């Protein structure tokens, strides 16, 4: 979103309002965006602890704090993803008549999103079911934009494979479990590795804690097969080349991951994280129902399940069908679509019509 807004002829000044628990303090400032912080934490506690008592107190204290920040910054509009920090911010914004645009990327909206959606002037969602759940028969304008992602068209497959040092004709599987429960993925890779490298080249994001074990597993392979397994503790700048290089993805069902997979038209085997209030399962089911992905339950994901997924590398017909289905769901212009809605709110213009946002999000706008 920041990239899309910054590319405008007259880019707006951006200020990030966050809390005291989360990554934004480091990541957002490093991106050149000014950060203001509320006393509450970015993520609410769900376990039984002192924070279960302190979080409501912090929430109450954050409303006048948010009001003071908004009065000082005087934003033309607020863009929110409806998380915990949004609650005091939008309560404070209502009497100031600051227009609000909310975006949500999950099929099933969370409680904070449902609450803040009532205070939004326009709503953007990644899935149609979400918009219907949030607005119902109400009059708030809402749009299916998809999930804002990086510019996936900035590198070609040839360029990506050259950067990742992969043969042009290799069959490549990218495996990454994200930050949540990555150990299950690492255990499956370590056990299945001799069988995996027989099927293709394997790019594996192990996380910092699993990297030493992944290197040891690679060294245990026959010398002539070691180059077919590439473990990484993380892939930051190289994540996009890794995605573009891949013929098959095995991963979790985060909204951004699925958005990039569909924008690139990559077949996937998805293992939804089971402890996210069902969000990932619902997100992944959209791809499975379209024929773009195969689902494996977290408790069923092991070495044999991973090898079965890798068998898709040799099934060109199935991968071609899955790739077409994934591409049909892709919205590579989602960031531009949401930015268009936010700018309309900021400039007090009528919101765009649904067809225009559909063209922008699909990347087909003239």
Mean pLDDT of the chain: 92
Strands (E), 32-176: 34-37, 78-80, 100-104, 122-125, 142-144, 172-176
Domain co-membership, 30 together with 89: yes
Which residue from 223, 227, 249, 229 is spatially nearest to 326, judged by alpha carbons?
Answer: 249
> Is a pLDDT exceeding 50 seen at residue 48?
no
pLDDT in tens, 275-322: 766 789 999 999 999 999 999 999 999 999 999 999 999 999 999 999
3-state secondary structure of 364: coil
The distance from CA 366 to its chain's CA centroid, rounded to whole angstroms, is 26
Q: How far apart are the first and last CA of the chain?
A: 20
Domain co-membership, 129 together with 13: yes
pLDDT band at residue 5 under the 50/70/90 scheme: very high
Domain co-membership, 51 together with 74: yes
Question: pTM (2 decimals)?
Answer: 0.88
Domain co-membership, 78 together with 197: no
List the CATH number of the domain containing 142. Answer: 3.40.50.2000
* Alpha carbons 201 and 313: distance in angstroms, whole number: 10
Domain co-membership, 124 together with 229: no
**What residues form DSSP beta bridges with 78?**
100
Domain co-membership, 134 together with 263: no
Domain co-membership, 314 together with 349: no
Biggest alpha carbon–alpha carbon distance for the chain: 68
Domain co-membership, 346 together with 298: no
Q: What pLDDT does residue 277 have?
A: 60
Written as one string, the DSSP assignment of 256-305 is HHHHHHHHHT--EEE---TTSTTHHHHHHHHHHHHTSEEE--GGG-SHHH
Q: What pLDDT does residue 27 have?
A: 85
Domain co-membership, 99 together with 7: yes
Q: What pLDDT does residue 335 have?
A: 97
Share of the chain above pLDDT 90, in %: 79
Q: What pLDDT does residue 111 have?
A: 87
Domain co-membership, 113 together with 177: no
Domain co-membership, 223 together with 344: no
Q: What pLDDT does residue 318 have?
A: 98
pLDDT in tens, 174-191: 999 866 568 899 999 999
Torsion over CA of 269, 273, 279 and 280, rounded to 10 degrees?
Answer: -10
For residue 79 the two structure tokens come to 């863009």
Which residue from 29, 4, 30 is spatially nearest to 16, judged by alpha carbons?
Answer: 29
Domain co-membership, 131 together with 176: no
Q: What's the domain range around 337?
A: 2-149+332-362
> Is a pLDDT exceeding 60 seen at residue 76?
yes
pLDDT in tens, 232-290: 999 988 999 999 999 999 999 988 999 999 999 999 999 999 876 678 999 999 999 99
> Is a pLDDT exceeding 70 seen at residue 351?
yes
Q: What's the domain count of the chain? A: 2
Contact residues for 291 (Cβ-Cβ < 8 A; gap 6+): 321, 322, 325
* Alpha carbons 345 and 352: distance in angstroms, whole number: 10
pLDDT in tens, 109-125: 988 899 999 999 999 99
């Amino acid at each position: 979103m920041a990239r899309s807004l910054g590319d405008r002829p007259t880019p707006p000044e951006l200020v990030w309002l966050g809390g005291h628990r989360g990554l934004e303090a480091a990541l957002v400032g490093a991106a050149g965006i000014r950060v203001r912080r509320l006393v509450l934490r970015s993520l609410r506690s769900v376990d039984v602890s002192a924070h279960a008592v302190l979080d409501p107190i912090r929430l109450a204290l954050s409303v006048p704090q948010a009001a003071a920040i908004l009065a000082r910054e005087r934003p033309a509009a607020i863009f929110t993803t409806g998380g915990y920090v949004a609650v005091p911010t939008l309560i404070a914004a209502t009497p100031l008549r600051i227009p609000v645009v909310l975006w949500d990327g999950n099929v099933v909206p969370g409680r904070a999103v449902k609450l803040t959606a009532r205070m939004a002037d326009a709503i953007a969602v990644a899935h149609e079911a979400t918009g219907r759940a949030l607005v119902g028969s109400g009059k708030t304008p809402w749009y299916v934009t998809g999930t804002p992602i990086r510019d996936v068209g900035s590198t070609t497959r040839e360029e990506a494979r050259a950067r990742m040092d992969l043969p042009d004709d290799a069959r490549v599987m990218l495996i990454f479990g994200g930050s949540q429960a990555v150990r299950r993925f690492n255990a499956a890779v370590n056990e299945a590795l001799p069988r995996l490298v027989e099927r293709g080249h394997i790019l594996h994001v192990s996380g910092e804690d699993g990297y030493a074990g992944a290197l040891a597993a690679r060294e245990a392979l026959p010398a002539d097969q070691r180059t077919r397994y590439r473990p990484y503790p993380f892939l930051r700048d190289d994540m996009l080349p890794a995605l573009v290089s891949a013929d098959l993805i095995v991963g979790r069902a985060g909204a951004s991951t699925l958005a990039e997979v569909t924008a690139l038209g990559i077949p996937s085997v998805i293992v939804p994280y089971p402890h996210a209030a069902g969000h990932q399962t619902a997100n992944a089911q959209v791809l499975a129902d379209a024929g773009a992905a195969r689902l494996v339950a977290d408790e069923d994901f092991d070495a044999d399940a991973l090898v079965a997924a890798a068998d898709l590398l040799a099934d060109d017909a199935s991968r071609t069908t899955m790739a077409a289905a994934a591409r049909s769901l892709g919205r590579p212009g989602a960031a531009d679509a949401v930015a268009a809605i936010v700018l309309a709110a900021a400039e007090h213009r009528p919101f765009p019509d649904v067809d225009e946002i559909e063209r922008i999000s699909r990347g087909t706008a003239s």
